[in-house]
Amino acid sequence: MTGLSAEEQALLAPIERAPILSHTLEWASINSGTGNLQGLAAMAGYLADAFSQLPGTVRLVDPAPVQTVDARGQLQDVGHGRHLVLSVRPDAARRVLLTGHMDTVYAREHPFQACEWLDEDTLNGPGTADMKGGLALMLAGLAAYEQTAPTLGYDVLVNSDEETGSLSSAGLIAELAQGKLAALTYEPGLPDGSMARARPGSGNYAAVVTGRSAHAGRNPGDGRNALVAASDLAMRLAAAAREGLTVNPARIEGGGPNNMVPDLAILHFNLRPRTPDLAEAAQALVEAAVAEVGAAHDVGIRLQGRVSRPPKPITPRTEALFGLVGGASADLAPPGGRPMRWQDTGGVCDGNNIAACGVPVLDTMGALGGAIHSPQEFLIASSLDARARLTALVMHRLDRQGLPA
């Protein structure tokens, strides 16, 4: 490692892989799919115990109410787990936000439940990269930082619903982001160490189409086919995609017996705008398509949803944070090591929500890995202690140097 002061070398020396890996394996053995409230409660308890080694106050925050459209087109409440918040030095003049999530995409009934070593450095397991390894290394990095007479304050948020859009924690994210110098989010980096730059926004919608039933043979003209109208809406939305805006009609529910004109259909779709202007244009586009289809088919359409992840552009302050992290990474690298790589991505995360609050955020501070959201998900174990050192060094430099103008 080059470019490190004696103080920084002393800061990083105690960080070891074994305890970080131990936490990762322990937490990965707990199924905490977003819908598994019992598993999330257990996971929150383990995290609360682990993060209590840091100074400050740990609390569990109840989720905000969330509703979704069911197969009958009705709004139903959706249960979520509680969110963990750790506040350290809340009165400090400069404060940072660190975020992660305890939920995974693997339901309690999913067959992918156990870890397996693929080789000495590659661990296959549910949530190992996304992001229980990230939570473990965040904790280790903060524990090391706390040994350096720190003055920087920070909040840690570990939510329980990131994988389904953070709808029950969005308000909490916005509250904790206020006034922060910078933010670090522990989504996994790519296997080659690449970090995410800009991200699009994302919105999930359900269009509930209400038609009129009739006999398919005797008087079909008296009916209003909700399924046909939903299909027309899907085609119009798909055709509206353009540079910087993707629209994905994902599922149509509804229909019934072959001899009946269906009077209910629900179209579920996702859109991803690259810029705030495109997010506004996309909303107007959706509303126009809904009005046109409703009039053309003489059906009612109720739209549920919004762009809940705003686009994450790169600002000068974000570039400054990237520069600080990139410099720390270079100083930690062995001679001849590769510089940190950056690339835009089509995925979204809580970094989108934080950036919308005007806070510079780097949202791939977690472990390196790949094949996330699949049974092939893997973690590169050697990245655990390496990324913990990066966390400790970045926090130390934010403390001593601030964020460059």
What digits encode the pLDDT tens for the residues 175-194?
A: 999 999 999 999 999 998 99
Question: Please, which residues bridge with residue 232 across strands?
Answer: none
Q: Contact 301/208 with Cβ under 8 angstroms?
A: yes
Query: Can you tell me the mean pLDDT for 15-23?
Result: 98
Residue 340 has what pLDDT?
Answer: 87
In degrees and rounded to multiples of 5, residue 381 shows phi and psi of -60, -35
Cα-based torsion angle of the residue sequence 83, 190, 354, 99 in order, rounded to the nearest 10 degrees: 30
Task: For residues 371 and 376, give the distance between their C-alpha atoms in angstroms, rounded to a whole number.
Answer: 6
Task: For residues 51 and 53, give the distance between their C-alpha atoms in angstroms, rounded to a whole number.
Answer: 5
Which of 141, 73, 105 is CA-nearest to residue 385? 141
Query: Can you tell me the mean pLDDT for 287-294?
Result: 98
Exposure string of 268-305, with b = 16+ CB inside 10 Å and e = fewer, is bbebbbbbeebbebbbebbeebbeebbeebebebebbb
Q: Which residue has the tokens 């936490």?
A: 23
pLDDT in tens, 231-254: 999 999 999 999 999 999 999 999
Averaged pLDDT of the chain: 96
Give 389's contacts (C-beta < 8 A, 6+ positions apart).
Answer: 12, 15, 141, 144, 332
- DSSP strand pairing (116-119 vs 67-69): unpaired
From the number of C-beta atoms within 10 Å of its C-beta (0-12, 13-18, 19+), residue 221 rates as: exposed
Confidence at 338, pLDDT banded by 50, 70, 90: confident
Report CA-CA distances (Å) from 300 to 209, 224, 256, 268, 295.
6, 10, 18, 16, 8
Architecture of the domain made up of 6-67+78-199+312-401: 3-Layer(aba) Sandwich (3.40)
Query: Can you tell me the mean pLDDT for 299-311?
Result: 96
In degrees and rounded to multiples of 5, residue 98 shows phi and psi of -120, 130
Query: Is 202-309 a domain of CATH 3.30.70.360?
Result: yes
Task: For residues 215 and 256, give the distance between their C-alpha atoms in angstroms, rounded to a whole number.
Answer: 12
- In the chain, the percentage of residues whose pLDDT exceeds 70 is 99
Q: Which residue has the tokens 């009612």?
A: 300
Residue 405 has what pLDDT?
Answer: 73
Query: Can you tell me the mean pLDDT for 60-77?
Result: 96
Query: Can you tell me the mean pLDDT for 214-222?
Result: 97
- DSSP strand pairing (300-309 vs 75-77): unpaired
Residue 91 has what pLDDT?
Answer: 97
Residue 1 has what pLDDT?
Answer: 53
Q: Where are the domains of the chain?
A: 6-67+78-199+312-401, 202-309
Question: Please, which residues bridge with residue 158 across strands?
Answer: 84, 100
From the number of C-beta atoms within 10 Å of its C-beta (0-12, 13-18, 19+), residue 405 rates as: exposed
Residue 334 has what pLDDT?
Answer: 85
Task: For residues 375 and 30, give the distance between their C-alpha atoms in angstroms, rounded to a whole number.
Answer: 16
Query: Can you tell me the mean pLDDT for 67-96?
Result: 97
pLDDT in tens, 373-405: 999 999 999 999 999 999 999 999 999 999 987
From the number of C-beta atoms within 10 Å of its C-beta (0-12, 13-18, 19+), residue 241 rates as: middle
Q: Is the pLDDT of residue 339 over 80?
A: no
Which of 365, 389, 382, 366 is CA-nearest to residue 117? 382
More confident residue, 334 or 331: 331
